[in-house]
Amino acid sequence: MTRKPSLPAPRVTDSTIVLPGCEPLAVRIYGKKTTGAVMPLVLHLHGGAFTAGSLDCGACLAQLVTGAGAVVVSLAYPLAPAHPFPQAVEAGYAGLEWVYKHRARLAGKDAPVYVAGEEAGGNLAAAVAMVARDRAHPPLAGQILVAPMLDPCTAMPSQREAVGDATGCKWADGWHQYLRSPMDAEHPYAVPAHAQRLADLPPALILTGADDAMRDEALAYAARLRKAGIPVTSDVLGDSTGWPDALGAPPDDECPCGAAVQQHLRAFFSKARPLPPPS
């Protein structure tokens, strides 16, 4: 397993923003604009199986993305069961619109905007990318999905390997509390893995680990995006990542596979460009 090299702690600013249709939500902004430069600007959504998680547990991935040269806005979206689907998706999309509106101040004029997330946040990031496509705004440069929780079918081999002989798991429980009814599982914004239309989505970076419980659904989604003509970079990292749980741990210099993640992020940022709004 590749370890994350020592990096200076990024500048971190906590704030609260008011979004349409939502109560005020907390955000944490990592990094700052460099004078004269245009930096990638990333909306980040943390993990927690839809029912848990916080800005603190999202710090690992947020700091890796910042270390790759981006400014990151991490959003504390509303959690299930008090806020079931589609409330987190709509909050995420409103957060994306806020990030896009303030991009000049945050990362430079015409900064390319991305959406990113791990575990349940990866689901929400994929869904928000679909909403942005369907509502024709804002243009996205890419989506970054790390150990994404995309499919409520928790019988895939990678999840069976992770839970062993247990008859239940936190991911199945999370899906149960997030979806209001079985009909929600047919909605592409709830279950991106089952979406019928994947055309016109932004380029994707999808990362998983050999020991990641989300490995199979991540790779299946990458394959479906490619078949739909979407540029996709995907990789299966080491066999001892501890993902997705390790991504929610307090960040330190031993973040699993941090160097490999940042290498992928830098390459992705260097080639992705904002998509024009659909006509």
189: domain CATH number is: 3.40.50.1820
In a domain, 2, yes or no: no
In a domain, 26, yes or no: yes
In a domain, 224, yes or no: yes
In a domain, 22, yes or no: yes
| Mean pLDDT, residues 181-195 | 96
What's the domain range around 141? 12-271
* 47-99 residue pLDDT tens: 999 999 999 999 999 999 999 999 999 999 999 999 999 999 999 999 999 99
Contacts of 84 (CB under 8 A, 6+ apart): 177, 178, 179, 180, 184
Q: Considering only CA atoms, which of 165, 157, 159, 179 is closest in space to residue 245?
A: 159
| Mean pLDDT, residues 89-111 | 96
In a domain, 81, yes or no: yes
* 231-255 residue pLDDT tens: 999 999 988 899 999 998 876 556 7
DSSP characters over 55-97: TTTTHHHHHHHHHTT-EEEEE-PPPTTTS-TTHHHHHHHHHHH
Q: Say if residues 236 and 252 touch (Cβ distance below 8 Å).
A: no
In a domain, 115, yes or no: yes
Q: Which residue has the higher pLDDT, 22 or 26?
A: 26
Question: How many domains are contained in the chain?
Answer: 1
In a domain, 1, yes or no: no
Burial of 198 (0-12, 13-18, 19+ CB in 10 A): buried
Predicted pLDDT at 254: 64
In a domain, 276, yes or no: no
* 9-19 residue pLDDT tens: 788 999 999 99
| Mean pLDDT, residues 251-276 | 79
pLDDT at 162 > cutoff 90: no
